[in-house]
A and B are shown apart, each in its own frame.
Chain A
Amino acid sequence: MSAEHTAAATSLRSAGVMLAFAVVFTMMMAATYRFARPDIEAAREAAKMKLVDAVLPPERYDNPLLEDTVELGPTPALGLREGGRVYRARHGTDDAALIVEAAAPDGYGGRIDLLVAVGADGRVAGVRATAHSETPGLGDYIDPRKDRNKHSPWIEQFRGRGPEPAGELRLKKDGGELDYRVGATISARAVTGAVARALAWTRAHAAELYAAPAGSHF
């Protein structure tokens, strides 16, 4: 009887100490979070803005496009299995560009997440890979930060291209016009295919996308 009592007492005491520690350290984490949150949000925003600037020059629009968005559900045409987002760039009352989240499911290392900007003229304004796991030093030239050719990174070739003339959005190896690096065709082909599909989808839905209310689901 007394042993049981001791065991219970020990458990209670230990649990009490652990609870006290949990409360104190959770308070520490919560305080840090509250203190850091504005900076975290600002940093996230800035990181996103940097990506947007890479696909669309800031002088082409004048609206706060991070707030002018349309939410997408799962969209197979864009390679989005869990949905994504479209940012709408406008200049005054004119439509300037749509920046679409898309993905290439068939990269060498799996999925490649992309940001594709399509101008109001129906041509690609810019493309960036936002997340990928292509082989370092081989297929990762799809990311201009990893591309050894700093003067004209591979992904800049998409700028200004449209669906016509045919072959503009195909690799040279597949009868198109885009360069690729020998030994790492799969990454380039995956990105190119995804950009072509994203462009086609965006052109087909451009009018509805520009007209949809901000923050609505498409």
Chain B
Amino acid sequence: MDRQITREILFNGLWKQNPGLVQLLGLCPILAISTNVINAVSLGLATILVMILANLGVAALRNFIPYEVRIPVFILIIASLVTVVDLAFNAWLHGLYLVLGIFIPLIVTNCIVLARVEAFAAKNDVVHSTLDGLAQGAGLLAVLAVLGAMREILGSGTLFSGIDLLIDGAEPLSLFGAHYPGFLLAILPPGAFFALGLLIALRNWLEGRAAARRHARGTLAPAAEAGAA
């Protein structure tokens, strides 16, 4: 496998084309489930799993799928994989299954899964497609984790609450003591929009700074482009 391509796929998923911050796909679960780190990361992991399997499956079967009916077949594949993941959560991570509830089945409708299948897996080989699923899923997971941490720390003053659903007897961290009054807005839906907006702004700022630095180094530096960045 070409290292250059590998690096590009990873970079695209995690930063340049990050599903949560740049493509802004799959916002509904991102905003709804990111009230704490454990929920956010769990849903992120479930989504990564589905994205890897969906990309792998579609890339492997892409030569058998007629172009005209590819979308229904993709949806069928994705829905089957999500059903399998849903059943697995129900059987082996039941506590988490109860918390995530409707959002596991709703991975089917997460546009990021279908988007990667259609834009990448349908045109590339199995190895690269699997890697793309992993990279894009990891990009989404990272956004979910940071968003969950921001909202949980601000909103309830804890970190990893609900970890006992994953590890028996584990205790969440209480950051500001038992008397932290909480910041309700961070946990309510508007808090999700504010936090995501801040993250997008931060990413754009970092990107702009990096671009400015590239110009300063004088690689390719028309002044107009620096202004646009």
Report A's interface with B, CB cutoff 8 A. Answer: 10, 13-14, 17-18, 21-22, 25-26, 28-29, 32-33, 36-37, 39-40, 43-44, 46-47, 135-138, 148
Contact = CB atoms under 8 A, between A and B. Distances in A.
A28 B84 contact: yes
Contacts of B65: 17, 21
B156 A137 contact: yes
28 contacts: A14-B68, A17-B64, A18-B73, A25-B77, A25-B80, A26-B80, A28-B80, A28-B84, A29-B80, A29-B87, A33-B87, A36-B87, A36-B88, A36-B90, A40-B87, A40-B94, A43-B94, A43-B97, A44-B94, A47-B94, A47-B95, A47-B98, A135-B184, A136-B184, A136-B187, A137-B187, A148-B178, A148-B182
A23 B221 CA distance: 57
B215 to A, nearest CB: 46
Nearest to B78: A25
Interface string B171-183: 0000000100010
Given A17-B66, A136-B184, A25 B87 contact: no
Given A46-B94, A138-B184, A21 B76 contact: yes
B107 to A, nearest CB: 15
A148 B155 CA distance: 13
Interface residues of B, number: 29
B64 to A, nearest CB: 7
A40 B84 CA distance: 13
B91 interface: yes
Given A17-B65, A29-B83, A43 B77 contact: no
Contacts of B88: 32, 36
A8 B39 CA distance: 49
Contacts of A47: 94-95, 98
A21 B204 CA distance: 42
A10 B87 contact: no
B76 A36 contact: no
B188 interface: yes
A218 B35 CA distance: 41
Contacts of B69: 14, 17-18
B184 A137 contact: yes
Q: Interface residues of B: mostly helix, strand, loop or mixed?
A: helix
B91 A36 contact: yes
- Among B35, B84, B187, chain A packs the most CB atoms within 10 A around the CB of B84
Contacts of B90: 36, 40, 43
Contacts of A148: 178, 182
Interface of B: 35, 64-66, 68-69, 72-73, 76-77, 80, 83-84, 87-88, 90-92, 94-95, 97-98, 155-156, 178, 182, 184, 187-188
Given A18-B76, A32-B88, A13 B188 contact: no
A11 B35 CA distance: 47
B169 to A, nearest CB: 14
Contacts of B84: 28-29, 32
Contacts of B35: 136
A29 B83 CA distance: 7
Contacts of A138: 184
A13 B66 contact: yes
Contacts of B72: 18
Contacts of B64: 17
Contacts of B95: 47
B133 to A, nearest CB: 18
- Among B72, B80, B97, chain A packs the most CB atoms within 10 A around the CB of B80
A118 to B, nearest CB: 26
B91 A14 contact: no
Contacts of B187: 136-137
A22 B76 contact: yes
B90 to A, nearest CB: 5
Nearest to B57: A25
Nearest to A18: B69
Contacts of B73: 17-18, 21
Nearest to B187: A136
